Amino acid sequence: MKFEVNVLGCGSAKPSPIHNPSCTVVNFRENLFMIDCGEGAQKELQRQRLKLPRLNHIFLTHLHGDHVFGLPGLLGTMALSGLEGDITIHTFEDGKKILSSIFDYFNRGLPIDVKFNVIRPEEAVVFENDSLRVRTVPLRHKIPAVGYVFEEKPGLRHINREMCDFHQVPMWAFNRIKAGEDFVKDDGSVVANALLTKDPSKPRSYAHISDTSYIPDLAEKIKGVDLLFHETTYLTPDKDKAKERGHSTAAEAARVALDANVGRLLVGHYSSRYKDDTLFLDEALSVFPNVILGKEGLRISV
């Protein structure tokens, strides 16, 4: 089943002719979850053919403008598209107050019901349904900030069709067996579930670590995720500036990926001072072997 990460914007605060401000969309089983909403997000959504009606949750990492200024435009576009229903914005208490005021002025009469889920800079589950869990991890930035970890829940066991046929298991019993039940035959004998099924697919996971200075113990909180996005605003020669401004270098992001034993590292949130993005790739690869250079339009299967 689909679990994809779509990069809509991977620039940092200062506008750049090369990159859009921060915005990422997770497509989980055809439901869209947006992380941050920089300017122009609504245009990039359309360019990448991501379906607006599928978007019901927006997760904000923090309240700097390059991560939130796209929200009024996005909601306006959704309204002009004739969409109805509700959308939930996950943000801090200050975000609820500020955004409510903005929406009341610029998005008055919106046919979409905007709801807020107030979060805190702490470790907590902020969204959960039958197949997905989203939790926060606190980051270290100039203002309160969190990262998000998207974790697929374990699925049902897979039917071993050959063994089910051998034991003449009827179709009506398959769902129970996939859920872990043994099968009881008409004569009262029991066929163990382990004989009739195979292990479920390994659950997949994605961690989105936005603006933060290097946090050595962060690795323990995202251990083993399949795909990690970790901001790489600066390169090592500007390490002091990164720390001062609450950001990370490409090498520091790669160190987190290495310590956390993740599958792949996606880099982004590049400072506009650098004109060659491949410098971030090269620096990260010097520490961690599996790095993806973030760019707009990139779609990655988790």
Full DSSP string of 209-264: E-S----TTHHHHSTT-SEEEEE--B-GGGHHHHHHHT--BHHHHHHHHHHHT-SE
Q: How far is residue 225's CA from residue 265's CA, in Å, rounded to a whole number?
A: 10
Q: How far is residue 169's CA from residue 163's CA, in Å, rounded to a whole number?
A: 9
Catalytic choice (66, 211, 226, 277) = 66
The closest of 149, 174, 148, 146 to 160, measured between CA atoms, is: 174
Instruction: Let me know: does 69 contact 55? Beta carbons within 8 Å.
Output: no
Give the position of tokens 């390169």: 235
The strands making up 299-301's β-sheet, listed across from edge to edge, are: 112-118, 85-91, 55-59, 31-35, 23-28, 3-9, 299-301
17's enclosing H/E stretch is none
Full DSSP string of 103-145: HHHHSTT-SEEEEEEE--SSSEEEEE-SSEEEEEEE--SSS--
Give 270's DSSP letter. Answer: B
66 carries an active-site annotation: yes
Q: Which residues are catalytic?
A: 66
